[in-house]
Amino acid sequence: MKATCWMGKQSVEVRDVPDPKILNQRDAIVRITSTAICGSDLHLYNGFVQPMKKGDILGHEFMGEVVEIGREVKALKVGDRVVVPFTIACGDCWQCQHDNWSLCENSNPNAALAEKALGHATSGAFGYSHLTGGFAGGQAEFARVPFADVGPLKIENGFSDEQVLFLSDILPTGYMGAEMCDIQPGDTIAVWGCGPVGLFAIKSAFLLGAERVIGIDRFDYRLEMAREKCGAETVNYETVDSVSETLIEMTAGRGPDACIDAVGLEAHGHGVEYAIDRTKQALMLESDRPIALREAIMACRNGGTISVIGVYGGLVDAFPLGTIMNRALTIKSGQCHVHRYMRPLLARIENGEIDPTMVITHRLPLSDAAKGYEIFLNKEDRCEKVVLSPR
């Protein structure tokens, strides 16, 4: 089959690779009909999320048709159309049974490696480094889906692929970012990053009752999408001296009630602090650049919540813990518990509350995946979201 392979830093190639096989009896093989490039794939592309091996198949947002199942798969049959959550979860362990699917205790075969890096292991995930199990990803013609009786969501009501594809990751991730803010009447929510996850976080914050949502980015076309498609107010951080002071002023001195970091470890900024973080990262003195997170912490109102859905991989410097402690801030975070949100969000799509297709700007054949990564990385041609079709 054809698959998008990580060949090294800023190098991906669509290559011929062996078809996936059933390895466990709860596996299914899915013939992929639509897949997408995620902002977090760019962290892999840029070499910030490790360890990767040359030839690893990328992609964790995909859907398609079940073409083969293991003998223990009871909930699916050949021919079913499914969206596959990017996290792999067994459904049986204590964490799964407490609805914390991205913390599944059984689905990461490289748990020993992850324990050394993170203290405890997380769940497995598709196409997202060997720290999450080294599972082959879904920017390919086929994928093996473990625990197929637990994760994949059957799609039966005539939705197009593009309407439901993002249930695999970015829609639930943005929604969880907003849900973690515990939004109360009158709340203003600030969202760093107006990429696809940021837009879904903005939209979700409104769905969950926010009075105002403020989107922060440096690309005017993305801020325009936040305003026009999601109803947000916006701040271009390159045009203001201080993002946190701007937000505090926009909220009459209170600060946003909750702040969502939908940027993560490759944040950009300007000024001395940004230069210091870039240098430290280049010298491997810190692995992550927490610029958006620092701004969020400084801006947030006293007693407010910081919701972290942008990806971080390791260590950060100059973390304002004193601000968090003295101003009684709460940090909530996590890789999305996708399984928890797929059904409720499908219902919201069905009744028209949210149209996930709003983020799509580019549609390419799978064979052009490398071009898709470049366009997305360089924000060429007002790129917001790239969807790939294997045929």
Partner 1 sequence: MVRVSKSVTIKRPPEAVYEFWRQLENLPRFMSHLQDVRSTGKGRSHWIARAPAGQQVEWDAEIVEERPGELIVWRALPGSDIQHEGSVHFRPAPADRGTEVEVALQYDAPGGKAGALIATLFGEEPTQQIRDDLRRFKQVMETGEVVLSDGSLEGAGQGPLKQRAAQAPATEVGR
Residues that bind partner 1 (CB under 8 A): 5, 7, 15-18, 20-21, 23-26, 53-57, 71-72, 90, 92-94, 97, 105-112, 124, 130, 133-136, 144, 146-147
Least separation, in Å, of the C-beta of 3 and partner 1?
A: 8
Terminus-to-terminus CA distance in the chain, angstroms?
12
Least separation, in Å, of the C-beta of 106 and partner 1?
A: 5
* Spatial CA neighbour of 261 closest among 195, 317, 326: 195
Least separation, in Å, of the C-beta of 340 and partner 1?
A: 19
CB closer to partner 1, 124 vs 193: 124
CB closer to partner 1, 134 vs 256: 134
Give the burial string for 331-348 (b: 16+ CB within 10 Å, else e). Answer: ebebbbbbbbbbeebbeb
CB closer to partner 1, 53 vs 270: 53
Give the burial string for 212-227 (b: 16+ CB within 10 Å, else e). Answer: bbbbbbbbeebbebbe
CB closer to partner 1, 128 vs 175: 128
CB closer to partner 1, 3 vs 167: 3
370 touches 347 (CB < 8 A): no
Crossing angle of helices 291-299 and 272-282, rounded to 10° = 140
Least separation, in Å, of the C-beta of 72 and partner 1?
A: 5
Least separation, in Å, of the C-beta of 25 and partner 1?
A: 6
Q: Which residue has the tokens 């260590």?
A: 315
CB closer to partner 1, 92 vs 238: 92
Least separation, in Å, of the C-beta of 370 and partner 1?
A: 14
Compute the C-alpha angle 349/27/19, nearest 5°: 100
* Spatial CA neighbour of 390 closest among 359, 358, 368, 361: 368
CB closer to partner 1, 54 vs 283: 54
Q: What is the DSSP letter of 186?
A: T
Residue 218 exposure: Cα atoms within 13 Å on the Cβ side:
10
Number of residues that this document lists for the chain: 391
CB closer to partner 1, 88 vs 226: 88
Give the burial string for 92-130 (b: 16+ CB within 10 Å, else e). Answer: ebebbeeebbbbbbbbbbbbebbeeeeeebbbbbbbbbb
Least separation, in Å, of the C-beta of 388 and partner 1?
A: 19
Q: Token digits for 161?
A: 């692929």
Least separation, in Å, of the C-beta of 90 and partner 1?
A: 5
